[in-house]
Amino acid sequence: MDKKELCSRLLEELPFHTMEIKKKNFCTLSFGRGGYVWIVRRGLMMSVRNTEDGRYKALGIFDAGSLIGVGGLTDETRHITAYTLSKTVLSFVPVKDALALLQKDNQLCYYFMLYLSRNLLDTFNDLEINTLGTLEDRIRAFEGQIAQKNLPKDASFSEVVMAMAVGAHPGSISRIRKQLKKNEESEKEKANSLQMDLEEKAAQLDETAVQAGQEQD
């Protein structure tokens, strides 16, 4: 059971409401024992927080089939700010109903735990990159995350979005991405040059072998 199947199962079994949020909008989602578990039906969004210098820093990226607010299964009531990278449709189910379903459905509870475990592993990886990695490392990690997401057609990633994702100034993002692109082009040129050298040497060896065969004849 993948994450989309998990979410579909929750929506089949539980009462829910649905809301649609326009692209490039901030919204606040609340969760806790008296709140909701949020399910991304369509679209793409980031959860963000304010930094000390007044900028936004992304905490997580959620595509279709993602659950938001699973921390609300505890008694703690929390609020998160999210930013939509495309038109996004959210459904939300009461936490108390989700807990009751998980308590009686062992199979669903098992796959729910697997989903949480994968998310926890991703969180540890993000923490390591954000703590020990350079800005280049963080940009590459974000681009890698995006490549694995189910991207809607209207999703867009400006320098401002990238800045929120990695916690840097848009100008720094632009400069680093240009440098990374130059480095990639340079590596491709080196690889192409090496391939040409290998092909040339292989051709020379073939020619030498042919000449040696002719001399033996």
- Tens digit of pLDDT for each residue in 111-155? 999 998 998 888 888 888 888 888 888 888 888 888 888 889 899
Does residue 84 belong to any structural domain of this protein?
yes
Instruction: Tell me how far apart the alpha carbons of residues 63 and 68 are, in angstroms, rounded to a whole number.
Output: 10
Query: Which residue has better confidence, 54 or 217?
Result: 54
Confirm whether 216 is domain-assigned.
no
Classify residue 208: in a domain, yes or no. no
Q: Is there a domain that residue 115 lies in?
A: yes
Least confident range from 57-61, 71-75, 119-123, 195-199: namely: 71-75
**Residue 136 falls within a domain, yes or no?**
yes
CATH number at residue 69: 2.60.120.10
CA dist 29 → 42, 59, 67, 176, 193 (Å): 16, 14, 12, 33, 53
Q: How far apart are CA 142 and CA 168, in angstroms?
A: 13
Summarised one tens digit per residue, pLDDT across range 5-29 is 999 999 999 999 999 999 999 999 8
Q: What confidence category does residue 216 fall into, taking pLDDT thresholds of 50, 70 and 90?
A: low
| Domain range enclosing 154 | 3-168
Q: Domain tally for the chain?
A: 1
- What are 171's two structure tokens? 């100008």
What pairs with residue 83 in β-bridges? 26, 46
Q: Can you give the pTM of this predicted structure? A: 0.74
User: Would residue 26 count as lying in a domain?
Assistant: yes
In a domain, 191, yes or no: no
In a domain, 71, yes or no: yes
Q: Indicate if the pLDDT at residue 210 is higher than 70.
A: no
What is the reported pLDDT for 150?
85
Amino acid letter, residue 59:
L
CA-to-CA dists, residue 202 to 50, 195, 196, 205, angstroms: 59, 10, 10, 5
